[in-house]
Amino acid sequence: EGAEAVVSTQSTGGSDPDFRVFPEAGQLLPLGTEGTLLCVAYKPTLYGKTHNAKLIVQTADNEWSYVIQGQSPSFSVPVGVATTPLRQSTTASASAKKNFIRQNMKKIAQKTP
């Protein structure tokens, strides 16, 4: 017969909220069987930090304690075509600018006898 188990994640400094345990409570299968599957989910929210948690499985007769460390996957720069358009050089944009005042002055000078 199995023993009622309480499963929780905790540590003295506080476990990282990036870890979750399923199921949180349930029935442990008896000794000599395949055992009870406990799933620890880890979803990091920050890169470059090692996350820590302590899993405690507790029954009326026993207690098991596990220290869990989670690491972010290594980051690699994406390779591919740039999605942002390239800026034009300042010399090309300077030559494309028009002096509308000068053009207007020339037009006025041409119309005046």
Name the band, by pLDDT with cuts 50, 70 and 90, for residue 1: very low
Cβ burial of 16 (10 Å; 0-12, 13-18, 19+) is: buried
Give the range with max mean pLDDT: 3-7, 21-25, 39-43, 86-90. Answer: 39-43
Q: How far apart are CA 23 and CA 70, in angstroms?
A: 19
**pLDDT at residue 8 greater than cutoff 70:** no
Residue 107 parent element (H or E): helix 100-111
pLDDT tens digits along 12-32: 456 777 888 888 777 777 778
pLDDT tens digits along 67-111: 888 888 777 887 877 677 766 666 555 566 788 888 888 888 888
pLDDT at 9: 47
Q: How far apart are CA 46 and CA 110, in angstroms?
A: 69
pTM for this one? 0.52
Nearest to 23 by CA among 3, 37, 4, 44: 37
Q: How far apart are CA 7 and CA 36, in angstroms?
A: 12
